[in-house]
Amino acid sequence: MRDNDGLEDVGGVDLVFDVIGGHIGKRSARLVRAGGILVSVVGPSEARPTNGSVVDFVVESDRGQLSEIVQRVRDGRLRTNIGHIATVE
């Protein structure tokens, strides 16, 4: 994704992890491909992807737990398989 691309230019993604909600959450739901998933950590999603799934959950941040996650990533004990990350300002 280039700096001047809009959110809608991303298109057809497998997973959207929504940490903002509101208007951005609604726009993000339209990006999920058929069979994809929208995960929202800001409460129940106001939008649903067409032919996709939604997972809603609320997270309470805990400094100790977040620090443990960071340490596991640094130590190589926690790994992710992410093909592409697209961000929009």
Residue with the two structure tokens 């057809």: 12
Q: How confident is the model over 8-30, as pLDDT tens digits?
A: 777 788 888 888 888 888 888 88
Q: Report domain extents, the chain.
A: 7-75
3-state SS class at 14: strand
Q: How confident is the model over 27-75, as pLDDT tens digits?
A: 888 889 999 998 888 877 788 888 888 888 766 777 888 788 889 889 9
pTM (2 d.p.): 0.58
Q: Where are the alpha helices (DSSP H) in the chain?
A: 22-29, 63-75
